[in-house]
Structure 1
Amino acid sequence: MAEGGVVTCPEVFVVDTQANYISNPNGKESRWARVSQKFLLLLVGLTLLGLFVEGCFIYRLYKKTEEFSLCKYSPLCQNLSHPQTSGQQGDTMSQVGPEESNDIPKMLANLDQVQQRPFAQLIGADNPIGLNNILLWVDKVGETVTHNMGYKDGKLLVEKDGYYYLYSKLTINASEECSLIQHKIMKVTRAYDNSIELMRSKSVRCPSHSKAKASGGEDLWNSFLAGIFHLQSGDGIFVTLENKNKMRPGPIDNLMGAFMILPGSILQ
């Protein structure tokens, strides 16, 4: 009982059994997680480094293989792959240097040889009638050329021995009457007194009135000859045509030419 008759109520404490408790993290577990992350990053780094090193080895192997594939065509590599005695190997090595150093001069010499090969092309003259059915040509104007070859009185003059491709094209007008046309390429040489027939085109042409009417009174057709022959220095090449009055003159309709395809002789 309290003094004065006043009753004091006792204090009541309520305990909440549903309260949340926050547990403090364990220090050992957090350190283990950090170590695990660092170890994982280290493994990833080592993996990437391994891939990089492997790529470098593959690239070096590829370069070595490429060098070997190119080297197998080199005389030096062939000598190394087939060892010889010391004296023979010394001789071989002494020969490799000059051969390689002479590659460029040899190429230049071959190029100069090609540039010096004779060739010629002549065009038809306005007055192509010559002696003995030999046709005359123009050799110094327009699209004409005579390189290491000469020309005189309808003849191409050979200056160097070799195999030549010869050709000739003529335009014939057969609008008036039927006639025998003989187009020939001939050769004159020091070994024989008479001319030698190399090629011939022989045909009979009769006028076609329909073609002559359509082309203004002309019935035109072409005769073409071409072949390869061995010629010697001093030979002369010329073209003959029987019934020369049937030929249509002009630089565009008629031509003659030659060019060397192989110098010297195969039989040498």
Structure 2
Amino acid sequence: MAEDGYPSVNLMDSHATCPPVPPRLSQGQQCARVGQKALFILVSVALCGMIVEACLIHRLYQTECKSAHIQIIVGFFCFFTFYVLFSQLAYPPMVIAFTSACACSQTKNKQAQLRGKLFLFSLQVTSASISKIITEQEAATAAKLRSCVISPFKPLAHLTDGQDVVHAKDIMAWSTDADPPLYKIDYKDRSLVIQKEGYYYVYSKVSFSDTGIFHHRVDLRIEKFTGKSINLLKSRKYSNHFKHPEQSNSYLGGVFHFSKGDAIFVKVSNTSKIVRQDLSENVFGAYMI
């Protein structure tokens, strides 16, 4: 009742409209938003892992003494990164919404297969990263070891026999496939060619099997005397078994003075009698003293 004695009257406009209500997101839009957030987080973690791995690999080439530790750190970090991704896809709390959103279009069996494939992929990528790092480190170490080899300060050469060489009838050939040490001495036409004048120790060892007399010698060929050779060292072996071949060996060695362009070679009575079971059985070399 109002103060003037009249009852209070409340007026209501029946034609007024209700205030607008914010539109509700559909279930599909909610799934899409949750999926985008989860995907953004996973991609961010993966990119951070790749950046850190690249930094560690860069430091691997900068510091040698810590290479092994860096390899282990990189491997474990890669595994940890993919393990986090696997855990986020496999377990709650945050990605429960993501898995529930995926459940709208996938069954639980497909989700389990997806998690299993992701886990196997993480293991493969981790092992591949570690293998690549170890391979690169081994190659770098081998290159450094080759660079650390002390080069000789005097001419030298050491040749061995091999299955790749073809002997002449009485002159032996030598293999170059094993990258033999040749320093300021060339190998050409089954001969060692001297490049620097001086005194050299020359040696030769051959293994043979023969029933008669076997000759082993080291000869010198000089450019001034074309077509002729000078005998430097010589041995002659006699076999007591005339019916069955007897295996033996012969070694020659001596010091001689050579000029530039002189060529020395090994000559035997018959190269078909040479025993070629081991590379170390037949050698030929020279070095300056």
Bigger relative contact order, structure 1 or 2, given CA contacts below 8 A and separation 6+?
A: 1
TM-score by length of 1: 0.47
TM-score (norm 2): 0.44
